[in-house]
Amino acid sequence: MRQGLSNLFRHRVLIQSLVMRELKARYRGSVGGYLWSFFNPLLLLAVYFVVFTTVFSPPQAEFGDTQPYALFLFCGLLPWTWFASSLTDAANSLIAGGNLIKKLIFPAEVLPVVSVLANGVHYLLGLPVYLVFWLFFKPEGLSLHALWLPLVILTQLVLSLGLGLIFAALAVHFRDIRDILANALTLWFFLTPIIYARQFLQERATAEDATWVPKAVAAVLDLNPMTHVMDGYHRAIFEGALVPWKRLPVTLAVAVVILLVGYGLFDRLRDSFPEEV
C-alpha cells in the first residue's frame, strides 16, 4: 500500500504532464483559450445573481444567513462542480484511456488521479473570478479565516481521490456504474449543503416542534463527508468564521481511510483492466 502511494509520487511528472495536457486539450482550438475557464463560472455566476436577486429572492429569515445569495451559492457550487466532475471523469477514465492501459506499460492509477487533479485546477482557476465578485459586493474583502481554505481543499482532494479510484476500478467491470453515479450525484447534490446552509437544517431539526423528518434528514446529512467539506467552505469564505474544527479533521481522517481502501481495491483489480477495458 505504501509502495503504491509512493508509486503515485514517482509518477508525479507524468501526472503533472497529463493534467496539463487535459487542460490544454480542453481549451485548445477555442479562440478564448484559458479565458474560458474564467468565463464559464463568470457567466454562470451572473445568471444566478440575476435570478436570485430580481426574479426569485429567497426570504432571508427562512434561508438563514445566506445573503447575497449568489455569493453563498457559488461558494459551494464551485467546489461541488469539482467534486462531481472529478468522480464522473474518474469513473470514465480507465475506459477512455483503454488504449494506454492496453498498449503501453502504464500505471493505471494515474488516470483517475489526473481526472481529479485537472478538475481541481479548474476550481482553482474559478476562484479569482469569485473573488472579483466578492469584492464587488463586499469591498472589505475576505476574513483571515479564509486561510483555512487549503485544509478544506485538501480534505475534498483526498476524498475525491479515494472515491475516484473506487469508481474507476469498478466502472471497468460494471459499466452501469457511470449511469448510476450520474444519478447518485444529483441526489447527493441535494443532500449536501450547497443551496442551503448546514446550519439551516440543524436549526430545523433542533426546533421544539420538529418532527422526525428534519431530524432524520439532518442526521443523514451529517453522515455525508461532503457536508462537512461544504460547511468548511461556507465558513472559511462566506461567513468568515472558523472551519468546523472537530468535524473537518474527522472528515479528513475518513477521507484518508477511503483513499487507502480505494487504492487497495484498485490495486487488487489492476490486472483485470487491460482485458476488460
User: Which residues contribute to the site for another protein (CB under 8 A)?
Assistant: 13-14, 17-18, 21, 24-25, 28-29, 99-106, 173, 264-265, 268-269, 271-272, 274-275
Integer Cα distance of 214 and 207 in angstroms: 10
**Residue 100 or 129 with smaller CB distance to another protein:** 100
Cβ atoms 160, 87 nearer than 8 A = yes
The angle, 0 to 180 degrees and rounded to 10, between the axes of the packed helices 69-96 and 176-190 is 170
Q: With respect to another protein, which residue has the nearer C-beta, 78 or 108?
A: 108
HEC profile of 69-95: HHHHHHHHHHHHHHHHHHHHHHHHHHH
Sequence-ordered list of residues with C-beta below 8 angstroms from that of 141, at least 6 positions apart, any chain: 134, 135
Smallest separation, CB 253 to another protein (Å): 21
183 residue type, one letter: N
Q: Which is nearer to another protein, 103 or 246 (CB)?
A: 103
Task: Round to whole Å and give the CA distance between 162 and 259.
Answer: 4
Number of C-beta neighbours around residue 191 at 10 A? 16
Residue placing its CB nearer to another protein in the complex, 24 or 138: 24
Answer for the pair 205, 218: CB distance below 8 angstroms, yes or no: yes
Nearest approach, Cβ of residue 172 and another protein (Å): 10
C-alpha cell at 79: 467546489
Nearer Cβ to another protein (102/138): 102
Q: To the nearest whole angstrom, how small is the minimum distance from the Cβ of residue 270 to another protein? A: 9
User: In angstroms, what is the minimal distance from the CB of 177 to another protein?
Assistant: 13
Q: Give the nearer residue to another protein in terms of CB position, either 222 or 276.
A: 276
138 or 268: whose CB is closer to another protein?
A: 268
| Residue 269, C-alpha cell as written in the block | 483489480
Cβ 145 to another protein, closest distance in Å? 39
Q: How many helices (H) and strands (E) does the chain have?
A: 14, 0
Minimum CB separation from another protein for residue 21, in Å?
6
| Residue 29 beta carbon to another protein: minimum distance, rounded to whole angstroms | 6
Q: Within 10 A of 25 (CB to CB), how many other CB atoms are there?
A: 10
